């Protein structure tokens, strides 16, 4: 088969020095936002009238491929495509197919994505054929009206059909749900039963103060410590050591036999084991989700055909990865602690 991009015939050979940050954490996990656009407008993620980036600022699929491959050459073992909605990016499967060469060569352990599920009926089989084994699908409610209210533009039926298609294609599905005060909090136990009953793990996420959205964060914020206490009235939750390389802490649900994860950036500090960095669709590298410091990788990518300036820029950036974040929802001003939206850095 022809390589989709001219440079992608070149298999990467792992460079001698892997990426180690100043706190001796090896950077082995890269999350890539392939677009800032989305077919939904979730209330905690975007405002209804989002201004999206001009096309010229967004990396082409070929540039994204080169950038990801540079990280793989520097020792990244796991790549997650996200967004915005990764599956609404035109031609996205060309990128997935091209990146899958690193799975075949053994340079990469996992290629995965986080999706809202709206396009899965179309792409599930192809993803599986490219070597994707697991995906995360975000579903915050099982009630179609609530789903419409949360996502503003989404249709639950389409997402459910997408999950069916993913499972039928042999993809392992994990469900992500953001816990929202007064919105889905009374439904979370049913979601555990539903997800685990279909062989899917469920991970609950606390609302993070990223970007200005129309609603006040303090109204949305529901501490997972409270959610967990309530779920423990219905289920027996046994803490387990299971880690996916992410910040979730897992419990085994005795009654369902499935797993329940908790991502609690506001109440729990998961920074000490952080192995990840994120790039936006414009090639900006964020060393920490909760900090503003970033490095521009688009310039070295666009100004040189050699990857050496890119490697050097990546190394300089990792050398200043901070120890941790400091998210705070400011109760007086209601301003987010970090100005960019989750759809920019990709969650
Ligand atoms: C930004 S989305 C991108 C991928 C895809 N569109 C999706 O929804 O899965 C990734 C994850 O971030 C979550 N998310 C978005 N904004 C958030 C916020 N402010 N706090 C916590 N989680 C958020 C979403 O629910 C989703 O699970
Ligand atoms: S959470 Fe995902 S689906 Fe919802 S608006 Fe953000 S990017 Fe789109």
Cα 170 to ligand 1 centre (Å): 24
Q: Going by CA atoms, what residue is nearest to atom 5 of ligand 1?
A: 115
Report whether 291 contacts 232 (CB < 8 A): no
Taking the C-alpha atoms of residue 67 and residue 139, their distance in angstroms, rounded to an integer, is 30
> Which residues in the chain come in under a pLDDT of 50?
16, 268, 329-334
Provide the pLDDT for residue 272: 77
What does the pLDDT read at residue 6? 72
Write out pLDDT tens, residues 18-60: 899 988 889 999 999 999 999 999 998 998 888 999 999 999 9
Q: How far is the CA of 343 from the centre of ligand 2 (A)?
A: 6
pLDDT tens sequence across 300-314: 999 999 999 999 999
Residue 137 CA, closest ligand 1 atom number: 9
Contact 345, 289 (CB under 8 A): yes
Best residue among 43, 45, 136, 184 to mutate for probing ligand 1, ranked by most atoms within 8 Å of CB:
45
CA distances from 37 to 33, 124, 153, 294 (A): 10, 20, 13, 21
315 Cα–ligand 2 center, Å: 31
Separation of 207 CA from ligand 1 center, angstroms?
9
Residues with CB under 6 A from ligand 1: 38, 44-45, 82-83, 85, 114-116, 138, 176, 178, 205, 207-208, 210, 342-343, 346-347
Residue 328 and residue 330: Cα distance in Å, rounded? 6
Could you count the other beta carbons within 10 Å of the beta carbon of residue 254?
Answer: 11
Atom 8 of ligand 1, residue of closest alpha carbon? 116
Q: In the chain, how many H helices and how many E strands?
A: 11, 12
Phi, psi (degrees; rounded to nearest 5) at 67: -65, -50
**The pLDDT value given to residue 244:** 64
What is the distance in A from the centroid of ligand 1 to the CA of 87? 14
Strand 134-138 versus strand 172-178 pairing type: parallel
Spacing, Cα 202 to ligand 1 middle (Å): 14
Q: What is the pTM of this model?
A: 0.92
Ligand approaching nearest to the C-alpha of 86: 1
**Ligand showing the shortest atom-to-Cα distance for residue 80:** 1
Ligand number, closest to the Cα atom of 46: 2
So what's the pLDDT on residue 5?
79
**DSSP, residue by residue, 15-73:** -SS--B-TTS-B--EEEEE--S--S---TTT--SSPPPPPGGGSPPHHHHHHHHHHHHH
């Amino acid at each position: 088969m022809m390589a989709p991009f001219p440079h992608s015939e070149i298999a990467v050979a792992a460079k001698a020095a892997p990426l180690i940050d100043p706190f001796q954490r090896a950077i082995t996990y890269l999350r890539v936002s392939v677009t800032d656009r989305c077919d939904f407008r979730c209330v905690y993620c975007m405002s209804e009238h989002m201004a999206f980036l001009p096309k010229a600022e967004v990396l082409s699929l070929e540039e994204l491929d080169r950038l990801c491959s540079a990280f793989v050459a520097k020792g990244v073992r796991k790549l997650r495509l996200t967004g915005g909605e990764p599956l609404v990016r035109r031609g996205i499967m060309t990128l997935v197919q091209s990146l899958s060469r690193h799975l075949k060569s053994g340079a990469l352990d996992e290629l995965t994505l986080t999706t809202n599920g709206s396009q899965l009926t179309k792409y599930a089989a192809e993803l599986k054929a490219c070597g994707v084994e697991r995906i995360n699908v975000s579903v915050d409610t099982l009630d179609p009206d609530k789903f419409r209210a949360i996502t503003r533009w989404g249709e639950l039926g389409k997402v459910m059909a997408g999950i069916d298609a993913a499972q039928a294609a042999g993809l392992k599905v994990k469900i992500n749900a953001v816990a929202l005060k007064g919105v889905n909090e009374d439904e979370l136990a049913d979601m555990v039963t539903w997800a685990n009953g279909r062989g899917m793990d469920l991970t609950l996420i606390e609302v993070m103060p990223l970007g200005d959205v129309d609603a006040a964060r303090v109204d949305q914020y529901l501490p997972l410590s409270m959610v967990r206490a309530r779920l423990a009235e219905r289920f027996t939750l046994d803490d387990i050591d299971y880690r996916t390389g992410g910040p979730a802490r897992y419990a085994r649900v005795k009654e369902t036999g499935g797993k329940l994860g908790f991502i609690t950036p506001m109440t729990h500090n998961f920074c000490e084991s952080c192995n990840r960095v994120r790039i936006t669709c414009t090639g900006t590298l964020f060393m920490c989700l909760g900090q503003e410091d970033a490095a521009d990788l688009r310039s070295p990518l666009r100004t040189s055909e050699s990857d050496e300036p890119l490697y050097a820029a990546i190394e300089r950036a990792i050398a200043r990865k901070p120890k941790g974040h400091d998210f705070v929802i400011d109760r007086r001003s209601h301003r987010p602690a970090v100005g960019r939206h989750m759809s920019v850095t990709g969650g």
